């Protein structure tokens, strides 16, 4: 999961696809000086030692 933050630290867009985040920045004409792209899963895993494998959840339906 990637998060695209603006210069003020506000999350503008989140998606599991890095390219989708970059396309969002391009759509709103944000250049790299105006946003920060972060890999959120890597940060959460490192800080909390949590496995966020999307395939581990079970469907109870």
pLDDT digits over 3-27, tens only? 999 989 999 999 999 999 999 999 9
Indicate the DSSP class of residue 15: E
Model confidence pLDDT, tens digit, residues 32-55:
888 999 988 766 556 555 554 544
The answer to whether 50 and 15 have CB atoms below 8 angstroms apart is no
d(C-alpha 47, C-alpha 31), whole Å: 29
d(C-alpha 52, C-alpha 61), whole Å: 21
Q: What's the pLDDT at 40? A: 83
Q: What's the pLDDT at 46? A: 60
Q: What is the dihedral of CA 55, 16, 40, 57, to 10 degrees?
A: -20
């Amino acid at each position: 999961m990637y998060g695209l933050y603006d210069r003020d630290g506000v999350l503008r867009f989140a998606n599991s696809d890095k390219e989708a985040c970059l396309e969002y920045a391009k759509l709103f004409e944000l250049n790299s000086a105006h946003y920060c792209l972060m890999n959120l899963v890597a940060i959460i895993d490192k800080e909390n030692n949590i496995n966020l494998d999307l395939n581990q959840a079970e469907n109870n339906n």
